Amino acid sequence: MTRLALRRPDDWHVHLRDGAMMAGVLPDSRHFRRILVMPNLVPPVVTGAEAAAYRARILAAMPPGQDTEPHMTLYLTEATDPADVVAAAASGLVTAVKLYPAGATTNSASGVRDIDRVMPVLEAMVEADIPLCVHGEVTDPAVDIFDREAVFLDRVLDPLRRRLPGLRVVLEHITTAEGVAYLRGAEGMAGTLTVQHLMLSRNDLLAGGIRPHYYCLPVLKRASHRAALRAAAVSGDPRFFLGTDSAPHPTAAKESACGCAGCYTAPVALACLAHVFEEEGALDRLEGFTSLFGAAFYRLPPNEARITLEKGAPWTPPRRRATGAGPVTLFDPGIALEWRVVE
């Protein structure tokens, strides 16, 4: 197969940042019809009014002719007003609420430290049928960083779902076999998978020297976990769908003594996914993963428009993307890609 037509994909987890950075990276989401925009700005997007203002800035920065539709999220804090969340969702402005355990990842200092303090919000979300997107890691310093997702399932997520069985949850950027197994046994849940976790293992990050542009959170895991993620992605199980977690940082902030977490994958995401699905003998299932399952979970119709990918001579992605906030280094898949999106 050298040509593949898909319904227009959606990206159900993307970081655009704000200001000059946002203006520089937004065009790289042009192949996606809908994007779920993360709220971890500084300060975070907590209220409906803040989400409306952020959405207006995104639309103002959208290049002419780009019809990507931003879907907004609210950052859950221990001071979040349940009524504001429900009103923002009812208006159609907000698609989901994002739970960051405090200190878990980039700009998460305002996140949740005590789940009991946000129960009124979560209970209101159950009644209003608003999904909760979860960064699934504990921040206990006694827990090894490679185990933090698995421990989160036991300590936080499973007890929460037992208390609120009607809460619809997205376990974002799953990185472990434990996360895949948990989701397969759960009702009312979905999970997103990223490009980097489908392509790389922790050896790519650490063996032979530290590669800061492969550093993300949750951190890359063993190759055996990557195999479990790939099996989930190509399984045709509608609980697993694409959320790139594409996360731009200035190159200098990544290549520093305390580098930022995040891989900037948006420009090459679809080409990389076609490579992965072809390796797994599952190109016929790529459309479900990128274009159908996420929309179904968020109770939206599939996109009618289509895009085409073609396989041809190997090509190497550009190294950097220039932005007004400084250059951003693109994700390097470590291979010459053969698939590309045909405009």
- The CATH code of the domain that includes 66 is 3.20.20.140
- Distance, in Å, from the CA atom of 340 to the CA atom of 269, rounded to the nearest integer, reads 10
Please give the mean pLDDT across all residues of the chain: 96
Confidence at residue 162, expressed as pLDDT on a 0 to 100 scale? 96
Burial class of residue 79, CB neighbours in 10 A (0-12, 13-18, 19+): exposed
The residues assigned a catalytic role are 245
Nearest Cα residue to 71 out of 40, 41, 96, 106: 96
105 pLDDT exceeds 90?
Answer: no
* Model confidence pLDDT, tens digit, residues 277-300: 999 999 999 999 999 999 999 999
Tell me the mean pLDDT in the region 180-205. Answer: 97
> Residue 110, SS3?
coil
Q: Cα torsion at 232, 237, 238, 241 (round to 10°)?
A: 20
Which of 103-112, 113-122, 167-176, 333-342 shows the lowest per-residue confidence on average (mean pLDDT)?
A: 103-112
Contact yes or no for 24/328 (Cβ under 8 A): yes
What does the longest C-alpha to C-alpha distance in the chain come to? 55
* Structural domain containing residue 65: 3-342
Tell me the mean pLDDT in the region 235-256. Answer: 98
Confidence at residue 110, expressed as pLDDT on a 0 to 100 scale? 82
Q: Report the domain count for the chain.
A: 1
Confidence at residue 120, expressed as pLDDT on a 0 to 100 scale? 98
> Residue 81, SS3?
coil
102 pLDDT exceeds 90?
Answer: no
Tell me the mean pLDDT in the region 218-229. Answer: 98
What is the band of 323 on the pLDDT scale with cuts at 50, 70, 90? very high
pTM for the model stands at 0.97
